[in-house]
């Protein structure tokens, strides 16, 4: 599983009416909840089920064993997610303090993988601890900690250099700063640029964001020199209701894939996402089923 890092005051929120999908997050986001809690809460959504399939030319749709079921609490936040694959399944439980995730615990065939999150008084993320754990209880729905092994730890400090510039220092498990990040914001508090630099090697990673007049993200550009020069670009389009209509990914200016989003007749709830790759006739389909309280 791929993980990222986030601190809460730099979430990108859509202006105006809430939409089903969260706006695209920064490269350094740790926990990425793709569903907008405001929208989930507003519409009393209890569960979202995603099924996967594919369709090649002149062939029937081929169903995949992969499925994802996400259950939400009454505040619109995920409280449980089941990811089913051909050879394994992962069940994740989410716990919150003041609407900020405090524990993320995953159960799979390899054991129990848990992340703990700490925050300062301004709700900025200050520490993440990853642990391998054992459950003393006879069910995963009631957790009693039997054994805990710390696998990884990071801590974060912040400095407000100016109203539009923030400096973030990232320290490892022995307290040594190994990476710094500078963020530049626009007048509305949205991230315009994010520059990361690894202290020892000097490797840098930079991101640029552009927005529409409505405040939605139009593109995200990523550049790094860790493997020579790598450029990646995400572009987004939206329908008349502000829903995400498409997402296209480029690497070194070559298109790698495109997602197209489909909604119900009221342009409110998602029905499907189609993923296509250039020079491939097969397309891949995610189908959504929404249940309510």
Length of the chain: 293
Q: Residue for token digits 């092994």?
A: 149
How confident is the model at residue 18, as a pLDDT? 61
Secondary structure of residue 209 in the 3-state scheme: strand
Going by C-alpha positions, the residue among 288, 274, 239 that lies closest to residue 61 is 274
Phi, psi of 174, deg, nearest 5: -105, 10
How confident is the model at residue 15, as a pLDDT? 36
How confident is the model at residue 226, as a pLDDT? 79
How confident is the model at residue 30, as a pLDDT? 58
Q: Answer yes or no: are the C-beta atoms of 85 and 101 closer than 8 Å.
A: no
Q: Residue for token digits 């891949």?
A: 284
In tens, the pLDDT along 221-258 reads 999 887 777 899 999 999 999 999 999 999 999 999 99
Q: Which two tokens stand for residue 254?
A: 């070559």
Q: Which two tokens stand for residue 278?
A: 């250039």
How confident is the model at residue 111, as a pLDDT? 93
Q: Please classify residue 114 by burial: count the beta carbons closer than 10 Å to its beta carbon, then call 0-12 exposed, 13-18 middle and 19+ buried.
A: buried
How confident is the model at residue 32, as a pLDDT? 66
How confident is the model at residue 3, as a pLDDT? 32
Going by C-alpha positions, the residue among 132, 130, 137 that lies closest to residue 152 is 130
Going by C-alpha positions, the residue among 124, 151, 179, 147 that lies closest to residue 1 is 151
pLDDT less than 70: residues of the chain: 1-18, 23-32
Q: Answer yes or no: are the C-beta atoms of 267 and 243 closer than 8 Å.
A: yes
């Amino acid at each position: 599983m791929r993980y990222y890092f986030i601190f809460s005051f730099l979430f990108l929120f859509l202006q105006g009416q809430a939409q089903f999908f969260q706006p695209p997050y920064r490269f350094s986001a740790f926990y990425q909840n793709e569903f907008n809690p405001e929208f989930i809460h507003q519409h009393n959504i209890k569960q979202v089920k995603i099924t996967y399939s594919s369709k090649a030319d002149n062939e029937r749709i081929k169903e995949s064993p992969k499925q994802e079921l996400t259950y939400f609490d009454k505040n619109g936040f995920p409280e449980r997610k089941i990811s089913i694959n051909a050879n394994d399944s992962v069940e994740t439980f989410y716990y919150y303090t003041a609407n900020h995730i405090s524990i993320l615990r995953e159960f799979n065939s390899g054991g129990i993988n848990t992340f703990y999150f700490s925050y300062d008084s301004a709700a900025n993320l200050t520490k993440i601890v990853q642990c391998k754990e054992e459950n003393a209880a006879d069910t995963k729905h009631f957790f009693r900690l039997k054994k805990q092994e710390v696998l990884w730890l990071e801590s974060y400090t912040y400095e407000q250099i100016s109203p539009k510039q923030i400096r973030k220092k990232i320290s490892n498990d022995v307290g040594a700063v190994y990476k710094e990040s500078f963020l530049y914001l626009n007048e509305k508090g949205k991230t315009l640029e994010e520059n990361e630099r690894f202290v020892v090697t000097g490797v840098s990673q930079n991101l640029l964001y552009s927005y529409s007049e409505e405040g939605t993200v139009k593109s995200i550009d990523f550049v790094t020199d860790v493997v020579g020069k790598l450029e990646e670009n995400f572009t987004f389009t939206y329908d008349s209701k502000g829903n995400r209509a498409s997402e296209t990914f480029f690497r070194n200016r070559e298109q790698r894939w495109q997602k197209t989003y489909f909604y119900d007749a009221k342009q409110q709830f998602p029905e499907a996402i189609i993923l296509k790759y250039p020079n491939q006739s097969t397309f891949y389909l995610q189908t959504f089923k929404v249940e309510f309280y």
